[in-house]
Amino acid sequence: MAQLSKDAFVFGHDILSVEQALDAIRKRVTPIEQSESVALCNAEGRVLAGDLIAPIPLPPFANSAVDGYAVRFEDLANAGETRLPVKGRVIAGAIGKGDGSPCAIRIFTGAPMPDGFDTVYMQEDVTRDGDFAILPAGLKKGANARPAGEAVAAGSAAILKGRVLRAQDLALAAALGITTLVVHRRLRIAVFSTGNELTEPGQPLGPAGIYDSNRALLRVLCQKLGANVTDLGILPDNRAMIAAALGRAGDHDLILTSGGVSMGEEDHVKGAVEDAGALTFWRIGIKPGRPVAMGVVDHAAFVGLPGNPVAVFVTFSAIVRPLVAALSGALYEPPLPLPVIADFSYRKKPGRREFVRVSLARDEAGQVHAKKHPRDGAGVLSSLTETDGLIVLPEEAESLAPGETVGFLSYAALL
């Protein structure tokens, strides 16, 4: 039987993989239930609370996809061209009909197909001879006509619940005649920074001070995910004060902090979470960003991000974004890394997922190459402003050689 050392499960020895953390989030987090009705014009970025059922079909009626001539397929000759009298004209917004005899009807894009007419010739393919249209052979039945309900059937789910609504979703809702949507309420996220060295931008900087940049980052990232953010400012490295602040923020859906989660004796966030609530796990196998604490404080999920700004950025995209999605009831698929060619070599420890900041450039052959930023410290914020995205190196990888294909995630896809 295996011998477990006394400290096998003590903090610092038990590293959770990103996948295990995401799995725990998927299994253990239940979304908020409250919803509200919002006007379409205010629904961008909100999370649809229930399937949107189409009240009408789309298109609502069969119509022409082109400017041309509507015919009944059965009136066409079996072989060779067909000569039909043109009887009538139907424009978008009007109704047209034939007289029952074989004929063609002049029709325009979006106009309803006259009763019994099923096929449309594009005007470019038709020769006019006075009141007659000469129609070439070879057109298929139903060509250039859009049947009713072709895109969306009445009564079907046009948009699935959990969709984070984009402009095209709102356009589809508008096409269905809908003016308001039921969405989950916005998530309430409390954000604070910890660190005795931190100074609020705008205030004078002491000799050992740095300005707090993580809150500026986290506020915006949370707002981009549709949350209402409560800014709780900067807290000193003091366990009791951090625990008290956590306790006061327990009515939020999520509390996000940065700094103070490493193993140093001045890292008080984990202890404060234990005092104010329960620490579930910490240390995730991710670089930059390894120490990430997670827990529950009162009603709120808690995530303690590391202090280094690049680590904050990376762990937010890898852990907080899926957690926010799970809490807010949003469907979430991790972004798909796109293949690019690495122009650099890299060594890493197996067992953790690593992210490398890179810029992209295209060579003469059209292939996309990734160039690593020269400064890869987790504190170098400018390495994020001067690059296009991150290369993901999977847990099992140990090294990377120039010329290898790697997965690239753009900042836009990540956040």
> Interface with ligand AMP includes 257 (CB under 6 A)?
no
Q: Provide the 3-class DSSP secondary structure of residue 367.
A: coil
> Interface with ligand AMP includes 214 (CB under 6 A)?
yes
Q: Which single residue is written with the structure tokens 């039909």?
A: 84
Residue 214 burial by CB count (10 A; 0-12/13-18/19+): exposed, middle or buried? buried
- Which entry of ligand AMP, Mg ion, none binds 198, CB below 5 to 8 A by partner kind? ligand AMP
Of residues 277 and 291, the one with the C-beta less far from ligand AMP: 291
| Start-end of H helices in 1-125 | 18-28
- Which entry of ligand AMP, Mg ion, none binds 262, CB below 5 to 8 A by partner kind? ligand AMP
User: Quick one: tokens of 24?
Assistant: 């725990």
CA distances from 104 to 37, 115, 132, 235, 295 (A): 48, 12, 8, 78, 71
> Helices 269-276 and 239-248: crossing angle, nearest 10°?
50
d(C-alpha 154, C-alpha 59), whole Å: 10
- Which entry of ligand AMP, Mg ion, none binds 379, CB below 5 to 8 A by partner kind? ligand AMP
Of residues 268 and 372, the one with the C-beta less far from ligand AMP: 268
Q: Which segment (79-87, 96-104, 160-168, 206-214) binds ligand AMP by CB under 6 A?
A: 206-214
User: Quick one: tokens of 61?
Assistant: 């009626």
User: Quick one: tokens of 80?
Assistant: 């060779």
User: Quick one: tokens of 382?
Assistant: 């400018």
Of residues 256 and 406, the one with the C-beta less far from ligand AMP: 256
Q: Which of residues 97-156 bind ligand AMP (CB under 6 A)?
A: none
Q: 17, 109, 123, 213: which one contacts ligand AMP (CB under 6 A)?
A: 213
Q: Which of residues 280-339 bind Mg ion (CB under 5 A)?
A: 307
Of residues 48 and 305, the one with the C-beta less far from ligand AMP: 305
Q: Which segment (75-83, 163-171, 194-202, 322-330) binds ligand AMP by CB under 6 A?
A: 194-202
Q: Provide the 3-class DSSP secondary structure of residue 120.
A: strand
d(C-alpha 122, C-alpha 264), whole Å: 75
The kind and range of the H/E element at 323 are helix 321-328
Q: 259, 306, 322, 389: which one contacts Mg ion (CB under 5 A)?
A: 259
- Which entry of Mg ion, ligand AMP, none binds 82, CB below 5 to 8 A by partner kind? none
> Interface with ligand AMP includes 201 (CB under 6 A)?
no
> Interface with Mg ion includes 195 (CB under 5 A)?
yes
- Cα of first residue to Cα of last residue in the chain, in angstroms, is 46
Positions touching ligand AMP (CB under 6 A) are 193, 195, 197-198, 210, 212-214, 258-260, 262, 306-309, 379
